[in-house]
Amino acid sequence: MIPIRHQETGQDVMNGEQILTVHEAARSWQPNRNAPEALAHTVEWLTRLQVHTPRAERYATLSAWAYPLAPLPELELAYDIHAFFRIYDDFTDDLAADIGRINVIGAELTGILYGRPARSHLGMIFDDLWTRQITSSPDQWVARVREHWEWYFNTQAAYAAMRDRRLDTTVEEYLELRLGNGAVPLCLVFGEKANRTYLAPHVHHCTQLRLLRTLTSDIIVYCNDVYSSVRDAKRADPRNLITIIRDQEGCDWHAARARCEQEMRALDQSIHTTKQRLDTACDVLRFTGAERAQARMGARIADDWNWGYQAWAAANELLMDTDPPREEISRLLTSPQAA
pLDDT tens per residue, range 109-143: 999 999 999 999 999 999 999 999 999 999 999 99
> What local confidence, expressed as pLDDT, does residue 10 receive?
37
**What pTM was computed for the model?**
0.91
- Please, which residues have CB within 8 angstroms of residue 317's CB and are 6 or more apart in sequence? 224, 227, 228
Whether 5 is covered by a domain: the verdict is: no
Whether 10 is covered by a domain: the verdict is: no
Share of the chain above pLDDT 90, in %: 78
Mean pLDDT within 194-200: 98
Express each pLDDT in 304-321 by its tens digit. 999 999 999 999 988 887
Instruction: Answer yes or no: are the C-beta atoms of 242 and 236 closer than 8 Å.
Output: no
Q: Domain containing 194 — which CATH number?
A: 1.10.600.10
Whether 30 is covered by a domain: the verdict is: no
Whether 29 is covered by a domain: the verdict is: no
Give the domain range for residue 307: 15-24+35-338
Express each pLDDT in 223-246 by its tens digit. 999 999 988 777 778 899 999 999
Written as one string, the DSSP assignment of 111-175 is HHHTTPPP-SHHHHHHHHHHHHHHTT--HHHHHHHHHHHHHHHTTHHHHHHTTSGGG---HHHHH
Whether 276 is covered by a domain: the verdict is: yes
Domain count, the chain: 1
- Please, which residues have CB within 8 angstroms of residue 33's CB and are 6 or more apart in sequence? none
Whether 185 is covered by a domain: the verdict is: yes
Whether 6 is covered by a domain: the verdict is: no
Whether 179 is covered by a domain: the verdict is: yes
